[in-house]
Amino acid sequence: MLKIVLLAYSQGLISSRAIEQACARNVQFIAISGDSQPSHTHIAKCVANLGHQIKPLRRLDG
């Protein structure tokens, strides 16, 4: 899940719903997720649990 979130953030996707859609439609996300298509709820819980580690990565503009 962390790989999915990091890939999403690197492409400017920070919404769990947008990440969920990418896992269903984007070849890169399908490959990284193993075609598991996690729900936005699962993605949001993962981000919340790793929030202190992921939060600095959300600032894409510097």
Domain residue ranges in the chain = 2-58
**Residue 24: predicted pLDDT:** 95
The pLDDT value given to residue 47: 86
Q: What pLDDT score was predicted for residue 45?
A: 93
What is the distance between the alpha carbons of residues 19 and 25, in angstroms, rounded to a whole number? 10
pLDDT of residue 34: 93
CA atoms within 13 A on the CB side of 22: 22
Q: Reply yes or no on whether the pLDDT at 62 is more than 90.
A: no
Q: What is the pLDDT of residue 54?
A: 67
pLDDT in tens, 3-60: 998 899 899 998 999 999 999 999 999 999 998 899 999 999 988 888 777 667 665 5
Count CA atoms closer than 13 A to 27's CA, side-chain side.
0
Under 8 Å between Cβ of 42 and 50: no
Inter-residue contact 24 to 37 (CB < 8 Å): yes
